[in-house]
């Protein structure tokens, strides 16, 4: 049977909702990383995907044709249209192999895969949603799930995917795809936004114990002070986010770990930035900068591990993706590098200091084949742990699985440690306590990041920083008209 993949659905509601998503993103910076809209994490609740760092190559791999082309669907099969954003070539190849395997495993469902270039993704998907021709299944970042669900653009899959597949997810990750009790996405991976990387040889030379990394802000400062006089000119004790934009999103986990909340209450009607629990973070940045423990200007963007790989940083706070960059570009640094959870003001191993970015699959609200689509989603993301673990091999284990069974398979694989010796620590010590990225408008996050930058550059008093951030956020709540629109506690 030959069938067009364009399904021609009535789309008045979808058009209005999709337009709303675009308008919601117009006022904020959707990059929130290094100025690239495909940065690892983002504070924008528009349709801009911000789940990984691997979308900088926007060349279409051409695995499938455009959705307007004719596609041969086997006689009697139900077609499921699947769009995925282009990642790395190896990742794209894994997706294609899994689609081919699924299609070959049965004859009732035919999955039609299209790989969409990253720079065309937002426009293409928004237009499809507005016209009622969105694919049945597509990739989405965690920080978009609540907005998409609330606006009726994606379906609850709680009863479409087996309960055991949902139970296999880490509780904190399941919460990230839960809206009003429904499960609106099934995740593939998570990438913690903050990991402490440190040079064990330099730490030991400074008289510190590399087996006992800092567990508090004070200990982090003590390490930096001990390292500073031992380093050559041009090298620094620590590198981390050092501009308002990067501070705004990289510190989401620390914000929650310190205060038990982010910048807004559950329904987004009240600002919470003046909580004195944030004071230690303002003071940490002020101390690090004033004592020259960090550069006067960051040596590179936050997501870039080059300064550490080149030996210009003894310690680096970066996302888990940095492990892949070090393995690929600076293999000689691996033997003398260890990782740890970024500390908080007090020794709090069970509290968050990182947020989680990453990718999920969602089911379009207007899909003609919801059960068949969910069956495919469960196959490709919720299926055999051994098969799913192959995906993580393609990324050199620089990404983490939110599934308990997959994590167990990877932990038992003797090759994991030889490929990425940091994966086990990140999975065990950082992922379980990490939180979802902020879902409120980006300007809210920037209000806090701006004051964090002022504390660093000007030595501004912590209480004044909190008060000024709170004042700006209260004004933004009114200007953006978001009071009462949050997802709740």
Q: What is the pLDDT of residues 2-31, one digit of tens each?
A: 333 334 333 333 433 443 343 333 333 333
Query: Both tokens of residue 70?
Result: 């004719």
CATH of the domain at 229: 3.40.190.10
| Domain end point (choices 417, 444, 468) | 417
- Please check whether residues 300 and 182 belong to one and the same domain: no
Report the C-alpha gap between 282 and 468 in whole angstroms. 13
C-alpha to C-alpha distances, 213 to 198, 255, 279, 324, 475, nearest whole angstrom: 9, 21, 23, 21, 41
- Please check whether residues 278 and 222 belong to one and the same domain: yes
The per-residue pLDDT for 297 is 96
Q: Which residue has the higher pLDDT, 156 or 11?
A: 156
| Domain end point (choices 369, 390, 417) | 417
Report the C-alpha gap between 232 and 176 in whole angstroms. 44
Hey, which bits of 193-320 come out as E strands? 195-199, 236-239, 313-318
Report the C-alpha gap between 288 and 282 in whole angstroms. 10
Among the listed residues 178, 162, 3, 126, the one whose alpha carbon sits nearest the alpha carbon of residue 76 = 3
Average pLDDT, the chain: 87
The per-residue pLDDT for 33 is 34
Find all residues with CB under 8 Å of 479, minimum gap 6, and list them.
none
Specify the 3-state DSSP secondary structure of 361: strand
- Please check whether residues 161 and 44 belong to one and the same domain: yes
- Please check whether residues 336 and 430 belong to one and the same domain: yes
Poorest-pLDDT segment among 47-51, 153-157, 254-258, 298-302: 47-51
pLDDT band at 63 (very low <50, low <70, confident <90, very high): very low
User: 156: exposed, middle or buried (C-beta count within 10 Å: 0-12, 13-18, 19+)?
Assistant: middle
Q: What is the pLDDT of residues 167-201, one digit of tens each?
A: 999 998 999 999 999 999 999 999 999 999 999 99
The per-residue pLDDT for 27 is 31
Query: Both tokens of residue 116?
Result: 């969409």
Q: What is the pLDDT of residues 441-475, one digit of tens each?
A: 899 999 999 999 999 999 999 999 999 999 999 99
- Please check whether residues 111 and 248 belong to one and the same domain: no
| Domain end point (choices 365, 387, 417) | 417
- Please check whether residues 327 and 363 belong to one and the same domain: no
What letter would DSSP give residue 433? G
pLDDT band at 61 (very low <50, low <70, confident <90, very high): very low
Q: Indicate the number of domains in the chain.
A: 2
pLDDT band at 347 (very low <50, low <70, confident <90, very high): very high
- Please check whether residues 275 and 247 belong to one and the same domain: yes
- Please check whether residues 369 and 400 belong to one and the same domain: yes
- Please check whether residues 198 and 142 belong to one and the same domain: no
- Please check whether residues 46 and 61 belong to one and the same domain: yes
- Please check whether residues 399 and 449 belong to one and the same domain: no
Report the C-alpha gap between 320 and 324 in whole angstroms. 8
Range of 408's domain?
2-191+357-417
pLDDT band at 59 (very low <50, low <70, confident <90, very high): very low
Mean per-residue pLDDT, 295-310: 96
C-alpha to C-alpha distances, 278 to 272, 360, 465, nearest whole angstrom: 10, 31, 10
Mean per-residue pLDDT, 100-121: 95
The per-residue pLDDT for 104 is 96
- Please check whether residues 236 and 295 belong to one and the same domain: yes
């Amino acid at each position: 049977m030959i069938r067009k993949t364009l399904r021609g659905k009535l789309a008045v509601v979808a058009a209005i909702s999709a337009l709303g998503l675009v308008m919601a993103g117009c006022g904020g910076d959707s990059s929130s990383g290094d100025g690239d809209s495909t940065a690892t994490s983002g504070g924008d609740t528009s349709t801009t995907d911000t789940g990984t760092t691997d979308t900088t190559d926007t060349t279409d791999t051409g695995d499938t044709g455009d959705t307007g082309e004719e596609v041969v669907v086997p006689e009697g099969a139900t077609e499921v249209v699947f769009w995925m954003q282009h990642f790395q070539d190896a990742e794209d190849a894994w997706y294609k192999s899994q689609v081919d395997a699924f299609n070959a495993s049965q004859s009732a469902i035919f999955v039609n895969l299209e790989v969409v270039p990253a720079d065309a993704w937002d426009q293409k998907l928004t237009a499809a949603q507005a016209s009622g021709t969105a694919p049945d299944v597509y990739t989405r970042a965690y920080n978009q799930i609540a907005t998409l669900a609330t606006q009726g653009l994606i379906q609850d899959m709680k009863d479409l995917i087996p309960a055991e597949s949902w139970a296999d997810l880490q509780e904190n990750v399941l919460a990230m795809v839960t809206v009003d009790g429904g499960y609106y996405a099934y995740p593939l991976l998570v990438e913690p936004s903050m990991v402490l990387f440190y040079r064990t040889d330099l730490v030991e030379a400074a008289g510190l114990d590399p087996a006992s990394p800092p567990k508090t802000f004070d200990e982090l400062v003590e390490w930096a002070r001990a390292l500073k006089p031992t380093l050559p000119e041009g090298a620094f004790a620590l590198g981390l986010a050092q501009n308002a934009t990067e501070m705004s999103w990289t510190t989401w986990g620390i914000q929650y770990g310190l205060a038990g909340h982010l910048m807004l209450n559950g329904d987004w009607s009240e600002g919470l930035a003046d909580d004195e629990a944030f004071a230690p973070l303002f003071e940490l940045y002020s101390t690090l900068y004033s004592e020259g423990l960090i550069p006067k200007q960051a040596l590179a963007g936050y997501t870039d591990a080059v300064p550490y790989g080149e030996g210009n940083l003894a310690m680096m706070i970066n996302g888990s993706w940095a492990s892949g960059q070090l393995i690929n570009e600076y293999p000689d640094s691996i033997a003398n590098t260890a990782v740890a959870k970024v500390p908080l003001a007090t020794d709090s191993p069970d509290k968050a200091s990182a947020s989680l970015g990453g990718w999920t699959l969602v089911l379009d609200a207007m899909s003609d084949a919801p059960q068949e689509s969910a069956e495919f989603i469960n196959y490709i993301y919720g299926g055999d742990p051994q098969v799913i673990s192959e995906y993580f091999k393609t990324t050199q284990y620089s990404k983490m699985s939110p599934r308990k069974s997959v994590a167990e398979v990877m932990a038992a694989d003797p090759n994991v440690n030889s490929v990425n010796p940091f994966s086990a620590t990140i999975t065990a010590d950082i992922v379980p306590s990490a939180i979802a990225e902020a879902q409120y408008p980006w300007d809210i996050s920037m209000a806090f990041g701006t004051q964090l930058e002022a504390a660093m550059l000007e030595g501004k008093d912590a209480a004044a920083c909190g008060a000024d951030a709170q004042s700006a956020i209260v004004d933004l709540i009114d200007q953006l008209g978001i009071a009462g629109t949050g997802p709740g506690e």
